[in-house]
Structure 1
Amino acid sequence: MTKGDVAHSSFIDQTVYNKLKDKEKIMVDAIDGNLLVPEYPDDYLQEVKKIVLGKYK
């Protein structure tokens, strides 16, 4: 959706989309029988700040 809709695309939209794709992969791996473990980096609050401030890559 974010690639074709220029009027509604933004940095945060793409960031949220990327995070949802990461979550989708984790869920598919869990369903397929792979080990499901939480993947929170030690500095997850810093990651959240970067997302909010538009500095997340």
Structure 2
Amino acid sequence: MIFTELLNSARSRFAKRMQYNRVVGEIELLTQRDLADMGADRSDMLRRAYQDIYGR
């Protein structure tokens, strides 16, 4: 029972980390021009991605 909970927790954390890494990779590929066209700031996008995925 405890092992199953630990395993499920680890899987959940791993899935979130993979999702976060994927989003960060996409954000990092944006050029300054892309960001300017969107009126976006890279650091704000990264912070929002973290909050959306990890809920903090």
Larger Rg: 2
Higher relative contact order (CA 8 A, sep 6+): 2
